[in-house]
Amino acid sequence: MRYVRLGILGAFVFLPVFGQAVKIVPRQFGPIRDLLDRGDGTSTSSNWSGYAVLGSSFTWAKGSWVVPVANCTGVRRDQYAAFWVGLDGYNSSTVEQTGTDSDCVGATPVYYAWYEFYPRASVQIQSLTIQPGDSISALVDYNATSQRFIVQITDETTGKTFTTSGAVTGAVRSSAEWIAEAPCCTLGGGILPLSNFGTIIFGKDASGVSATNWASDQSTTAAIGNFPAVNVIEINKFGTTSSPQTSDCSALTKDKTSFACTWAAQ
């Protein structure tokens, strides 16, 4: 049996991939980095691509996507791509999130689910076995009575669900997001290389999950595109020295719920 070390942060867990056990070290996902808001409903970032909606006192966000294939052909340096739904992180210092990864350990693709209450470390979800092509739905919910965040992620293809909760000090609940992320961190603290996920589609158009890519704050409960236009932000990832790959996202579909993000080498 072969073991592969993935990443540089956190405690080891073991996940099967293609009949082998892969030694996973959780990375840290987190707030948007190097944000440039263009003032026209779009922004750029060194680690995020996708959509955010801004507001106040968000209580939940729901999302769905199909796990993309990680194209690891010829890859020598480990690469990573995370897909998630969450609250906070666009204009605040915490993130409450859950999602899946399509990573490359060298030339070997690795898939898994995780959650994170940033700034605490991410946690791999060992009870879910993730495969490319699986339809995923996820929810981040805030319970005002307990003042805790509940994260739930479901593999709609297998029918298996994971739920947990946690308190997050300083969470302001000022945004909701649907994101493809290049996580942190290289030894020098930079963003990690973004694995080639091709194109990912968030929302019902790909996943078949209804009432998804929605969120709720104190004034609006709606799909992404039905929030006030001034509060809806399309985010595209630009390349950096440590993470030269880019990810550009499409406009929202006519039903205002779904969108695609596409990987590219710089």
> Which domain covers residue 77, as residue numbers?
27-264
Give strand pairing partners of 98: 85, 115
Whether residue 100 is contained in a domain is answered as yes
Which CATH number do you get for residue 228? Answer: 2.60.120.700
Contact 81, 158 (CB under 8 A): no
In a domain, 10, yes or no: no
Q: What is the pLDDT of residues 49-59, one digit of tens each?
A: 999 999 999 99
145 dihedral zone (left: phi>0; alpha: psi -120 to 50; beta):
alpha
Note the pLDDT tens digit of each residue in 99-145. Answer: 999 999 999 999 999 999 999 999 999 999 999 999 999 999 999 99
- Examine residue 14 and state whether it is found in any structural domain, yes or no: no
In a domain, 211, yes or no: yes
**Reported confidence tier of residue 23, pLDDT bands at 50, 70, 90:** low
Decide if pLDDT at 8 tops 50: no
Which of 161, 127, 135 shows the shortest CA–CA distance to 64?
A: 135
> Cis (ω within 30 of 0) for the bond into 119?
yes
pTM for the model: 0.91
Domain count, the chain: 1
The residue whose two tokens read 């693709």 is 109
149 belongs to a structural domain: yes
CB 139 within 8 A of CB 60: yes
Provide the mean pLDDT of the chain: 91
Q: Which residue type sits at 4?
A: V
170 has a pLDDT exceeding 80: yes
Q: Specify if 241 maps to a domain.
A: yes
Q: Name the 3-class secondary structure at 53.
A: strand
Q: Is residue 5 part of a domain?
A: no
Give mean pLDDT, residues 55-69: 98
In a domain, 16, yes or no: no
